Chains A and B, each alone.
Chain A
């Protein structure tokens, strides 16, 4: 680890700060490349939660920097309001207990309209490809 400014890490921090709900995953919500990522994205989709998604596969450094930043070794990683909520297991547990909807500030399914969408991030020229889900 160097002390030099790390542009990729700064970009990841910015993405986490600017997107109220952001999922770092392998693949995309429509084409997940790993079962754990697929399940986590599906839980958010089942709740109708709008979320931004970042595919970490295109550049291995994204995962390195993300894990260094979050102190969490595995993918996926879900952040809500800048806080790491957890990986696939925690998100699944929280989905089943209803805590996930609570954390997201939305009603459980069949309980009305989803919460307002987060502001679209401006990511022009960024190396992080953020896929904004506004289901």
Chain B
């Protein structure tokens, strides 16, 4: 069983500077909103792949589903 805390930690560890909010309590289905500087300039497909790659081989198996929303961080004003 996976936990939302585990997913959050792994996403944030793999994408330094990222913030992930993960929900899902059944151990198999999760939803994540990920804000990461690495997404800048990437297509949605490429953004999602960056997150999926964190769980390579586990999606569809141990983690049945990870619903994703990816965002580029808002630029901080000076």
Contacts and interface: CB of A to CB of B under 8 A. Distances in A.
Contact of A73 (B44, B56, B67): B56
Contacts of A36: 65, 67
B2 interface: no
Contact of B69 (A86, A89, A94): A89
Nearest to B59: A73
Given A73-B52, A84-B45, A89 B68 contact: yes
A66 to B, nearest CB: 11
A89 B67 contact: yes
Interface in B28-52: 44-45, 48-49, 52
A75 interface: yes
A86 B52 CA distance: 12
B44 A74 contact: no
Contacts of A88: 67
Interface string A66-84: 0100011111000000001
Chain B interface, DSSP helix/strand/loop, else mixed = mixed
Interface string A52-77: 00000000000100010001111100
Given A36-B65, A74-B65, A90 B60 contact: no
Interface of B: 44-45, 48-49, 52, 55-56, 59-60, 65-69
Interface of A: 36, 63, 67, 71-75, 84-90, 93-94
Given A84-B45, A88-B67, A89-B67, 13 more contacts: A36-B67, A63-B60, A72-B52, A73-B52, A74-B59, A74-B60, A86-B44, A86-B45, A86-B48, A89-B68, A90-B45, A93-B44, A93-B69
